[in-house]
Amino acid sequence: MNDRRPSSASRRLADARAFFDPQRLAIGRRLRGLRKNQLAALVGTTPTAVGQYEAGTHRPSERTLSQLALALGVPVEFFTVGHGARAVDSAHAHFRSLRSTSQIERDQALSHGHLAAGIVALLEHYVELPDVSIPEYPVWPEEIAGEGPIKAARLARQLLNVPRGPIRHVVRLLEQHGVVALHLPPVSRRLDAFSVSAHPRPLVLLNPAKGDYYRNRFDGGHELGHLIMHADAEPGSRIVEDQAHRFAAEFLMPEEEIAEQLPAMAQWDRLAALKAQWGVSMAALLYRGRTLGIMRDVTYRNAMSTMSSRGWRQQEPGVRPPLEQPTLLTKAVELLTEAGIGRDALAEQAHVSRGDFDLLVPERPYPPPAL
């Protein structure tokens, strides 16, 4: 007698088609940086058909769904609503480089945020992550030259229990207070860090492409400023970005602690020592000296001109420490692996490929340090 029961692969395809989520197809396409016509060419259909699938007016056949999964390098279950998947509000994603990056680049980065939010939701089903304890201090865009960002940064250091002096590890501080920090997989070097409020747990996605320890730390402070000040602000404006910049400067280099240390002239040895002490770039220190009125505008401009002529605007001299690494999700996965739930099982439950899972939650190639 022939066994007419459907195969496991057939059942998976049938279930994926029955519970097809149009938004997931759009996320998958953007994740790979593809336009509709490019994806259509890969699966042998038309851009109009792809648009109809993403709009939800038509549902792809099982054969087309299988081709879409193959073209995008995802399991067919990716196109269904994932385990506890949470929506990432793209309207409140604070991108810093709206003019220098393309919409495709921003969509690709935001799609990684969608995947990360789903993975976080899955891990929270098993592991208790730190409570979100980020304060709120709204600063409105209309407050162009006010002290709002400075007050917000001082409040943040107080409520996040930051001791006096330099912040030793910005990413660790974010994670300790419930923010999920991630390194973006390889994307455009033109894309800076961005943050998004993925309810109920905010995300900060850092771009490691430039490999700059000091820039990444400042980016972390900048995005924390957005999370604290701009929950309801329209992202992308120059004023909002300037406010987050001023927040990061005060958060990482408090005026009352650093003002007496900053030189009035471009003393490069002194700036290099302060750079190592505070974990910020010489360019940031020069700008801080200027904004605090310690360094005159003409002195600042001459110093920046010198940095440009020496190539220091691209790469400053001195030791380049390795980037601060997020570990919150990696530690959660390590705990689950010890409990018998490995990465393959977690990727399957999150409805993502193992490759995408490992890119967002990388394995540690070394034993965790003793704390």
CA–CA distances in Å: residue 276 to residues 167, 209, 214 = 12, 22, 10
Residue type present at position 316: E
Residue type present at position 300: Y
Q: With CA atoms as reference, report the closest residue to 327 among 225, 161, 180, 216.
A: 180
Task: Yes or no: say if 333 and 343 are a contact pair by the CB < 8 Å rule.
Answer: yes
> What dihedral do alpha carbons 59, 353, 327, 285 form, nearest 10°?
-70
Cα–Cα distance measured from residue 371 to residue 368, given in angstroms and rounded to the nearest whole number: 9
Cβ-based neighbour number of residue 142 at 10 Å: 7
Q: What is the pLDDT of residue 102?
A: 79
How many CA atoms lie less than 13 Å away from 175 in the CB half-sphere? Answer: 18
Strand 203-206 relative to strand 194-196, pairing: antiparallel
* pLDDT tens digits, 258-283: 999 999 999 999 999 999 999 999 99
Task: Yes or no: say if 171 and 193 are a contact pair by the CB < 8 Å rule.
Answer: no
Along the 371 residues of the chain, how does pLDDT read in single tens digits? 455 556 777 888 887 788 899 999 999 999 999 999 999 999 999 999 999 999 999 999 999 999 999 999 999 999 987 544 555 666 566 666 555 677 888 888 889 988 999 999 999 999 999 999 999 999 987 777 789 999 999 999 999 999 999 999 999 999 999 999 999 887 767 777 888 876 678 999 998 888 899 999 999 999 999 999 988 777 778 888 999 999 999 999 999 999 999 999 999 999 999 999 999 999 999 999 999 999 999 999 999 999 999 999 989 998 889 999 999 999 999 999 999 999 999 999 999 999 999 999 999 865 544 43
The three-point CA angle 328-132-168 to 5° equals: 55
Cα–Cα distance measured from residue 97 to residue 56, given in angstroms and rounded to the nearest whole number: 31
Q: With CA atoms as reference, report the closest residue to 96 among 180, 179, 186, 193.
A: 193
pTM of the model: 0.89
